[in-house]
Structures are given as C-alpha cells and as structure tokens.
C-alpha cells in the first residue's frame, strides 16, 4: 500500500528526478538569443530604475546618457572579472606553476575592484546632476534590481521560471574527484 501511495505521488509530480520539468528540455541559447535577453533585461532595469528614482524631465535628460555610459563600463568590468575567474580554473590536464598561479590570482584580485572604480568615478557626476536623495534612490534601485534578478534566476516554484540553483561542480572542468581544483603543482 505504501508503495502505491509513493508511486501515485511521484506520478503527479510534474518535475523529473532533478527538479526539471519533463515537458521542457533545456536548450542552449544562441548568441542572438543571449543578446535579446540582455537587451530585454536592460530595458526592464531602466524602467525599474526610472520608476524608483522618479526623475524629472530635466534630470532624465542628463541622467540617462550618463547611466548608459556607466552601464557599458560596468559590463566591461564584469567581463574582465569573469575572464579572470575562469583563468583560476585549470583546463583539463593543465598544471599551474606557482608563478602562473600567482599571476592568475593577482589578475583576479585586480579585476574585483574594476566595477567599484567605475561606480566611484561616475558617483561625482551623478551627484552633480541629481539631488543626493535621488542618487541614494538610484543606488537603492540598483541593489533592488540585482536582488530581484538573483531571486528570479534561482526560483524553483514549478512555474518554469528561473533556472534553479547552479549545480555543484565536483567533477569535470578543472576539479578532481575530491572536489578540489585539479592541476595545481606542489
């Protein structure tokens, strides 16, 4: 009887073994698809920030061009950080010398501050064109949007939204059977 109840409950679960919906196969996105998603997300972010900051027409005329420039630079800083992060993982059968590992770690640490440098550089310009309360509202809106996107990406509510949490990487690209990065030379 217990076996029948478990089987019936399992049959009613719309998700597969690992939380995937059986009717939705995961497909790889093309570069064009990724570009469309990025553009849609940027537009959604802009609308979100506009509502939260409540810019006047005059403020908006000066703010949005500055915002666009800052976002471009932040995107480049993010790309540099991702590249430096990927460089920390050895490729299959690759080993690092201490000198190579030191260089890669130094590059990674340097990449972490790039985004902060961009924000710091643009902060003075934001303060010059907006009242300080709107600058604060802008930074708060940025943080709220990041949180909203992070929640969306990790949501697993059965509605097919989000991708779910990233799987643990314990084998494969640069990891040994013990879960530690492979390829480091002692």
Q: What is the pLDDT of residue 3?
A: 35
Q: What is the pLDDT of residues 150-160, one digit of tens each?
A: 888 787 554 54
User: pTM above the 0.75 mark?
Assistant: no
Q: Is the pLDDT of residue 4 over 60?
A: no
Cα separation, 88 vs 125, whole angstroms: 35
Q: What is the pLDDT of residue 67?
A: 96
**Percent of the chain at pLDDT above 90?**
50
What average pLDDT does this structure show over 118-128? 96
Cα separation, 143 vs 43, whole angstroms: 16
Domains in the chain, please, with CATH? 46-154 (1.20.120)
Cα separation, 158 vs 54, whole angstroms: 35
End-to-end Cα separation, the chain, in angstroms: 57
CA dihedral sign of residues 51, 57, 63, 69? positive
């Amino acid at each position: 009887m217990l076996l029948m109840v478990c089987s019936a409950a399992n049959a009613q679960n719309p998700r597969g073994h690992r939380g995937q919906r059986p009717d939705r196969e995961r497909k790889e996105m093309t570069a064009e698809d990724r570009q469309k998603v990025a553009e849609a997300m940027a537009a959604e972010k802009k609308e979100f920030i506009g509502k939260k900051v409540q810019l006047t027409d005059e403020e908006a005329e000066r703010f949005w061009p500055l915002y666009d420039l800052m976002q471009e630079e932040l995107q480049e800083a993010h790309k540099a950080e991702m590249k430096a992060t990927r460089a920390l993982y050895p490729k299959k059968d690759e080993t690092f010398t201490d000198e190579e590992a030191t260089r890669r770690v130094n590059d990674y640490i340097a990449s972490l501050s790039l985004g902060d440098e961009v924000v710091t550089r643009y902060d003075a310009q934001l303060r010059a064109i907006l009242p300080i309360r709107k600058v604060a509202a802008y930074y708060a809106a940025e943080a709220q949007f990041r949180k909203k996107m992070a929640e969306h990406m990790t949501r697993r509510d059965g509605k097919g939204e989000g991708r779910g949490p990233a799987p643990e990487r314990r084998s494969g690209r640069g990891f040994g059977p013990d879960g530690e990065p492979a390829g480091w030379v002692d």
